[in-house]
Amino acid sequence: MEKDLKSKTLKELEELAAGFGQKDYIAGYIFSFIHVRAVKDIDSITTLSKSFRRQLTEEDYFISRLEPVDKLTDPDGTIKYVFGLPDGKRIESVLLFDDDRRTLCVSTQAGCSMGCVFCATGRLGLIRNLTAGEIVDQVNVIGAENKISNVVFMGMGEPMANYDEALKAVRILNHPKGKNIGIRHLTISTCGIPEGIERLADEDIRPRLAISLNAPTDAIRQKLMPITKKCPLDRLFSAIAFYQRKTHNRVTFEYVLIKGVNDTVLHARMLVKRLRGVLCNVNLIEYNPHSGCIWQPTENEAIERFAGVLKEAGFETTVRRKMGRTIKAACGQLGSKENLKCKN
């Protein structure tokens, strides 16, 4: 049984309180003290009776807390936080500034098992899943010194491979008695696990969905993303169609442009064909090199040509600015072996 009170939704805290003979509203005190007042221990929840606090402690309940071990700032303003986990592992989170919007990119796993070859995190392999409390606490700690407007589950790890904890984190962050972050300001990004997408369609809470696509065909995508062998594009787009029938929500496709691999006008036209009939927008991302990779980013002119094909076909298309490169905080760069304890 999870003993970390920070990992529990309000409903789970109500069930816990009832088990101790307490009223539902007591759970609300616990939840708000943890996620609004950021208390560090059970004794700090002063609205609880001393006897109940003692009972919780004696039953080994606790309130976890991530400890930042490093903070790096890029000249463009991007901030990368390195957190130490209780077992000695480390994760990274990135805060991005865009005019008045502050977007926090959080991790859901230490390392990642997906093995996408353009991503530094994939080189680590999966170290372990994060708990809901560890996911949420990235927001709590960083939010204590920065007002956060959006949270994207796009950091280290594959959220759909840690589905239960990721969704619990969404519920906790969205709840009005906690951080109260609007559901349209929470985004889960996946490399394309169909079962997770279909499961998300049936939830009573629906964050935004982003899908890392990166290729218009299975042949190209399989070179970049090993998951394609298990889940080809037809299976992925079947799950997307199911998701949209159930939710009527737009999805965002993330497409990393790599020179000579997936970035030609022909590739763009093939992508248009693949996306026909899907309610979506496309984010084009310049490839961010990292140690051990042989590829190069696409030149600006080729990016604009690629974007032009998509726009002419009627797809809302955004070219994502390069941010955080000098501190290895850009898309695909999280997981520097200088900062993280990893498997190999």
Q: Tell me: the pLDDT tens digits for 16-61?
A: 999 999 999 999 999 999 999 999 999 999 999 999 999 999 999 9
Q: Please state, rounded to an integer, the average pLDDT across all residues of the chain.
A: 94
Cα separation, 264 vs 275, in Å, equals: 17
Average pLDDT of span 243-268: 97
The band of 159, judged by pLDDT with boundaries at 50, 70 and 90, is: very high
Write out pLDDT tens, residues 174-194: 999 999 999 999 999 999 999
The C-alpha torsion from 110 through 143 and 191 to 98, rounded to 10°, is -130
Report the candidate in 245, 248, 167, 237 with the shortest Cα–Cα distance to residue 203: 167
Report the candidate in 3, 7, 34 with the shortest Cα–Cα distance to residue 169: 7
Average pLDDT of span 311-316: 98
| pLDDT, position 336 | 60
Coil/strand/helix, residue 194: helix
In this structure, the number of other CB atoms found within 10 A of the CB of residue 179 comes to: 18
Write out pLDDT tens, residues 64-77: 999 999 999 999 99
CATH class of 5-58: mainly alpha
Write out pLDDT tens, residues 194-247: 999 999 999 999 999 999 999 999 999 999 999 999 999 999 999 999 999 999
Set 92, 134, 158, 286: catalytic member: 92
Write out pLDDT tens, residues 320-332: 877 898 898 888 8
Q: Examine the pLDDT at 293 and tell me if it is beyond 80.
A: no
CATH of 67-327, one of 3.40.190.10, 3.40.640.10, 3.20.20.70, 3.40.50.2300: 3.20.20.70
Cα 202 from chain centre:
20
For residue 4, the one-letter residue type is D
Please enumerate in sequence order all residues whose Cβ is within 8 A of that of 159, keeping only pairs 6 or more positions apart, or say none.
108, 153, 166, 188, 189, 190, 196
The C-alpha torsion from 231 through 234 and 236 to 240, rounded to 10°, is -170
Of 231-240, 275-284, 333-342, the range with the lowest mean pLDDT is 333-342
Set 105, 191, 231, 331: catalytic member: 331
Q: What are the angstrom distances between the C-alpha of 23 and each of 30, 228, 297?
A: 12, 49, 58
Residue 331 annotated in active site: yes
Q: Which residue has the higher pLDDT, 290 or 146?
A: 146
Domain map (residue ranges) of the chain? 5-58, 67-327
Q: Which residue has the higher pLDDT, 252 or 288?
A: 252
Q: In what order do the strands lie in the sheet with 90-98?
A: 67-73, 79-84, 90-98, 101-105, 150-153, 186-190, 208-212, 251-257, 280-286, 316-320
Give the length of the chain: 344
